[in-house]
Structure 1
Amino acid sequence: MSDLLGIGYSGLKAYSRALSTVGDNIANAQTPGYARRRLDMMEAVGGGNSIFYRGNTNPGGVDIRGVNRSVDAWLIEDSRISGGDAERSATRLGWLDKVEGALSDETNGIKTGLTKLYTTADQLTSDPSNRTLRAQFLQSVDDIASGFRTAAGQLDKMGEGIEGAATSAVDQLNANLNALEQVNVGLRKARPGSTNEASLLDERDRLLDQISSQAGVKATFDDRGAATVRAAGSGDLLVGGGVVNPVSVTAAADGRLSYSVGGAPLAITTGSLAGLSEAAGHVADQRASLDTMATQFAGQLNAAHQAGTDADGNPGQPLFTGTSAATLAAAPLAPDQVAVANASGSNGNMLALGAMRGANDPEARWSGHLATQAQTVASARAQDAAASTRADASAAARDGVSQVDLDTEAAELLRFQQAYSAAARTIQVARETMQTLLSSL
């Protein structure tokens, strides 16, 4: 009879724990990083049995082996890799879109100014002495210079913004590395199979997901689930053995980013930090290209203007001053100082200026530069779409194993409620039988 009571008691204890586990699953169905849990139970060894031999008709109840998480290590690793690639492409695309906006005509008006300059030059060929057209010509020069300064200012702000974003992201990465080491400490102390251990493992995986989305890492685990994290490319230790090595970021004079750990260079090829590094490099390239085009445009247009003579017969003056896009400015000329004429006639210099339009004139080169930027953004957008699709598929496959399904939990809840009632009924039968035996004495 004591065996019957023991069987009933073991059932009550086990199924109560199972109901609690199902309740945790239902309560955390929408909690990010939560992996479905299930209680692992086995038949208890009955009296007269041993671990080597079990009788066929001598049940011993049920034992709790521990709480297991529904996870697949391969799917988790694949999800982290694809998620890091998606973060890299999304971060890069976001900044490339901003660069395209800074270079667009809607923002700086450079293309409009160049077109206006050549259009006004054409009009001056028909009316060389028209002061209004001369003033419009100078205004278009000022619009071009202003457009270059605007674009340069926008790119400078972007460089500062990327540097700030990288600094913030590195700080968050280091905070996650420190938090992961604290979880490692907890895992080494947690009782195997306990709910506390399962919660710590959930938090460990959540932190590793965030770290992987920021930078490419490789994680290995000891027999207690504590993680050792190394940089995916170089193998530099970031977390492990009670040590946390923080990552640092440095911005060069042109805004390019470099990462390091322990004073040694750290190559990051995936995650948001990689996207920020690539974006910083692209902005630096665009700033250099903008300066080159500004000086080339100024030199070409200055030379063309200086080849003519103004209304007073004086040699034409430079139209632009400055040595970079940020310092480009229109020279302070009066309408009469516009060099419309040359030795061939009163409108000869404007005819020569108009003849510059072609494959290598400032207007065509600027249009070509914008087209190249648009192609770069389109390529980045296609890469981002592919990476995002793969990341979504990997996350869905991972969730198919780990995610809580409320229908399944409802069925489990009903099953364990019935099992709990059966265990309680077993104890009741044992009690009634014992009372009957005692009352018969």
Structure 2
Amino acid sequence: MSLSSAINTANSIFSNTAQQTAIVSKNIANASNSDYSRRLAMLGTSGNGAQVVSIQRAQNDALLKQNMVSISQASAQGTLFAGLETLKSALGGNDYETAPSTYLASFRDSLQTFASTPGNTTVAATLVQDATDLANSLNKTSTSVQDMRLEADKEIASSVDKLNGLLADFEKANNGVLSATASGADASDALDQRDKLLRQISEIVGISTVTRSNNDTVIYTSDGTVLFENTPRKVTFQATSGFGATTTGQKVYIDGVPVAAGAGGNTSGEGKLSTLLQLRDEIAPKYQSQLDEVARGLVELFKEQSGATTLPGLFTWTPAVPPATVPPAGTTVPGIAATLKVNPLALSNPLLVRDGGFNGAAYVQNTTGSSGYSDLLDKFTAAMDGNLAFDTATGLDGSTSIMDFATSSVGWLEDLRSSASTANDNKVALLSRTQEALNNETGVSMDEELSLLLDLEQSYKASAKLVSTVDAMMAALLEAVR
């Protein structure tokens, strides 16, 4: 080896070591950055020995795609579980202390007590108060359900805005990857940014990706709708200002295709949009219909009848048009739970519950005015434990007592929440495992990087020794020719 070739070799080693050290330093600086993929300096041979020919980025496309699916599923499940927890809290938490079924049981107990002591005006007043508490519970719960729908609608609007912003950012990142790939430059930073955006997009909507030539990426939703191809597809949504039992929320459209809502406690949805739609359009309306059926059942049970005419008695409500008769059995009256109330006459004269006559003398049952009259109260008590016809669209038994129906409504919600809780734990665990597997493949290991630094140090020392040796030989050669 000539002295000049030795110097060139040493310079090549210094250059390689400098580049490799820069890469290792960057890896170490991003060791805690979950959106960073490890860089590797790849060596090749040249006339002066090995040299850095390219910078490769650690990646595993299969694990990345599985990670995005896990993110979508965990995000959807977590959103559903949070919504059900909010609804449970509105009903009093673990024991459902403020649920209508709880107040219904207290009202039934007061009714039985009054039936055994029909002349006791204090017990009569207590019964009316319990009836008022029951009506208020249905009112408040109905309001909570519609508030939850409104909050879900607002979050849908926010998520749609965020998704459109992420897609715009993705276009820039994807163009950066294309430009770097076409020019032969290092595309690692642009690829990191693009993968980060993909993970953020997958939290909002389930996606799949296809990589084309020049590292160009196309994004599809989990149901096959194009979300991004060269340019972002528009995601549109019109928010609703307020919700009632008869209000229908607007759909979310991706490139003109509506986003489907998830289904079930272990939701089929991917991404939070699907379960926000599920909460707003499926779960909350169904629970509202159950509340409405409890309210309608109360109106039916405590109705007054004279001949062929039936009118609301102890319980009434505020419809847009006052009804001539009690609502038909087995048919939901949307929103009745929100305005159910105790007949104002009962507040001024609680004994009307015992005697009848809320709608005039023709409806009085205790015609003698006896303080021991309990026939009507006994009839009400028996009716509360007897079967009524309920709307099967509520998802509950269509023929059961109002007590069992109200209890089943709580059971329906708790079963759904429990299923969502179990599924949430499972999907979060799966996400954790896929993230760990992906990080093992693409993340930075401090032990490996520090070990590599030690190797680079030895390489630097070797090249420095070579330069020192060449310098000594050059000095001896110059001394010899003097």
Give the TM-score of the pair, scaled to structure 2.
0.80
- 1:339 is aligned to 354
Provide the C-alpha distance between the structure 2 equivalents of 1:224 and 1:437, rounded to a whole number of angstroms. Answer: 54
- 2:337 is aligned to 325
Q: Which moved more, 1:291-300 or 1:138-147?
A: 291-300
Do 1:84 and 1:216's aligned partners in 2 also have CA atoms closer than 8 Å? yes
**Does 2:436 correspond to 1:378?**
no
**Residues 112 and 222 of structure 1, relative CA distance in 2, 3 Å threshold:** closer
Do 2:173 and 2:193's aligned partners in 1 also have CA atoms closer than 8 Å? yes
**Superposition deviation, residue 230 in structure 1:** 2.1
Q: Which moved more, 1:183-192 or 1:127-136?
A: 183-192
- 1:224 is aligned to 214
Provide the C-alpha distance between the structure 1 equivalents of 2:85 and 2:38, rounded to a whole number of angstroms. Answer: 39
Do 2:21 and 2:456's aligned partners in 1 also have CA atoms closer than 8 Å? yes
Provide the C-alpha distance between the structure 1 equivalents of 2:473 and 2:312, rounded to a whole number of angstroms. Answer: 120
**Does 2:413 correspond to 1:424?**
no
Q: AA paired with 1:239? A: F
**Does 2:4 correspond to 1:2?**
yes
**Residues 256 and 379 of structure 1, relative CA distance in 2, 3 Å threshold:** farther
- 2:252 is aligned to 259
- 2:31 is aligned to 29
Superposition pairs of residues 198-217 of structure 1, within 5 angstroms: 198-217=188-207
Q: What's the C-alpha RMSD, in Å, of the aligned pairs?
A: 2.4
Superposition pairs of residues 33-432 of structure 1, within 5 angstroms: 33-44=35-46, 46=47, 60-104=48-92, 106=96, 108-190=98-180, 197-236=187-226, 238-241=227-230, 243-250=231-238, 254-256=247-249, 258-267=251-260, 269-280=269-280, 281-303=282-304, 317-323=313-319, 324-332=336-344, 333=346, 334-340=349-355, 342=365, 346-358=373-385, 360-432=400-472
Do 1:108 and 1:148's aligned partners in 2 also have CA atoms closer than 8 Å? no
**Superposition deviation, residue 107 in structure 1:** 6.1
Deviations 1:302-354 (A, max 9, x none): 35xx68xxxxxxx9944333351111111112223222584797111111122
**Residues 296 and 67 of structure 1, relative CA distance in 2, 3 Å threshold:** same
**Superposition deviation, residue 184 in structure 1:** 1.6
Deviations 1:349-385 (A, max 9, x none): 1111222243633222101110111111111112212
Do 2:118 and 2:354's aligned partners in 1 also have CA atoms closer than 8 Å? no
Provide the C-alpha distance between the structure 2 equivalents of 1:190 and 1:319, rounded to a whole number of angstroms. Answer: 73
Q: What's the secondary structure of 2:42's corresponding residue?
A: strand
Provide the C-alpha distance between the structure 2 equivalents of 1:168 and 1:181, rounded to a whole number of angstroms. Answer: 20
Provide the C-alpha distance between the structure 1 equivalents of 2:174 and 2:97, rounded to a whole number of angstroms. Answer: 51
**Superposition deviation, residue 67 in structure 1:** 1.4
Provide the C-alpha distance between the structure 2 equivalents of 1:375 and 1:266, rounded to a whole number of angstroms. Answer: 26
Q: AA paired with 2:419? A: S
Q: AA paired with 1:80? A: M
Q: Which moved more, 1:183-192 or 1:376-385?
A: 183-192
Structure 1 portions without partners, runs of 5+: 47-59, 308-314
Provide the C-alpha distance between the structure 1 equivalents of 2:213 and 2:465, rounded to a whole number of angstroms. Answer: 41
**Superposition deviation, residue 193 in structure 1:** 6.8
- 1:50 is aligned to none
Deviations 1:211-246 (A, max 9, x none): 11211122222443332212231332x2222x1212
Deviations 1:179-217 (A, max 9, x none): 11111222233266755x211111111111111121112
Using the aligned pairs only, state the percent identity. Answer: 22
**Residues 216 and 112 of structure 1, relative CA distance in 2, 3 Å threshold:** closer
Q: AA paired with 2:342? A: A
Provide the C-alpha distance between the structure 1 equivalents of 2:273 and 2:5, rounded to a whole number of angstroms. Answer: 62
State the aligned residue count.
415
**Residues 299 and 90 of structure 1, relative CA distance in 2, 3 Å threshold:** same
**Does 2:475 correspond to 1:435?**
yes
Provide the C-alpha distance between the structure 2 equivalents of 1:419 and 1:325, rounded to a whole number of angstroms. Answer: 80
Q: What's the secondary structure of 2:125's corresponding residue?
A: helix
**Superposition deviation, residue 128 in structure 1:** 1.2
